[in-house]
Structure 1
């Protein structure tokens, strides 16, 4: 039987991570919707006079800076995978056996690596300094999630170490 002392810690971290991933998905969805509604409109004209702007980017966001498009895109990916990983995590916490650990740990690790990637773009966006309050909130949540997701992975692996 698994170490039951780690189960409440893993449950708390899993619930916290799920709530934060859902918030990231909400803010990221807002940013993506705004980018689609207020992005570049390029009219295709027959002829060689069509020229794209010098700073054209297919991932253009009217708020933020040059890193915002990449940040929001990878934050949405991390949010979807992170929220989906909680399904496997809840299953593992419910059964709390060594048979359910590999799937929960592997999906949580994938979510953590995507969160780290999005956090890297968040750090770049912080360095470039032009962003609004919602983007700052999403940056903060991703930085916090990069730590709490790692602690969750350590908690479920720490319980496995006591099984031997």
Structure 2
């Protein structure tokens, strides 16, 4: 890859995205743990409550369960994307680009899905501070992951002006 000017930007975005995906995963893990601990309790007759949902979350609103599940999936794939991206930034040549780019695009699309659910949760209004933090991080991650994808593809698309022998 001829253009190394975008390498520091890609490295910075990788570090930022990796840390943010870890924070989203930690908050999502807390939410899932709380949902398991404080969810529906099946009575002695083993009857489910009338409005039972397997992704019921005691905090937040009706969109919280879907939001947390997809945010966890996006954060795991996003962290894996960062690890593949580290290898690409370290090598910085065309052979390492396809794997880093494909995982980054998958992470970005899952992040967009989780961001859409975050927007739905914001619209429904009732949520706590941790969920608001997770929503904000996913909205920011949707932009930074896209900029990272542009950075690694922009470096690949720069034509070589001269060849060395």
Asked whether the 8 Å contact 1:65–1:131 carries over to 2, the reply is yes
**Hey, what does 1:96 align to over in structure 2?**
92
| 1:67 paired residue among 56, 63, 69 | 63
User: 1:111-135: per-residue Cα shift (whole Å, max 9, x none)?
Assistant: 0000001001100000000000000
Match of 1:85 among 71, 81, 84: 81
Say whether the 8 Å CA contact 1:2–1:98 is kept in structure 2.
Answer: no
Distance 1:57 1:133 in 2: 23
Q: Give the Cα–Cα distance (whole angstroms) in 2 for the partners of residues 2 and 14 of structure 1.
A: 20
Residue matched to 1:29 = 29
The superposition leaves residues 38-66 of structure 1 with CA deviations (integer Å, 9 ceiling, x where unpaired) of 000113637xxx4632x321111000000
Q: What residue number does 2:113 align with? A: 117
Cα 1:51–1:97, aligned 2, differ >3 Å: closer, same or farther? Answer: closer
Match in the other structure for 2:72: 76
Q: Which residue matches 1:160?
A: 156
Q: How many angstroms apart in 2 are the aligned matches of 1:143 and 1:83?
A: 16
Which residue matches 1:17? 17
> How far apart are the structure 2 equivalents of 1:7 and 1:44?
61
Question: Does the 8 Å contact 1:119/1:139 carry over to 2?
Answer: yes
- TM-score after normalising by structure 1: 0.94
- What's the TM-score once normalised by structure 2's chain length? 0.93
- What SS is found at the alignment partner of 1:140? helix
Q: Which residue of 2 is the match for residue 8 of structure 1?
A: 8
Q: Determine the C-alpha separation between the residues in 1 that align with 2:62 and 2:91.
A: 45
Cα pair 2:39 2:56 within 8 Å, conserved: yes
1:138 and 2:134 equivalent?
yes
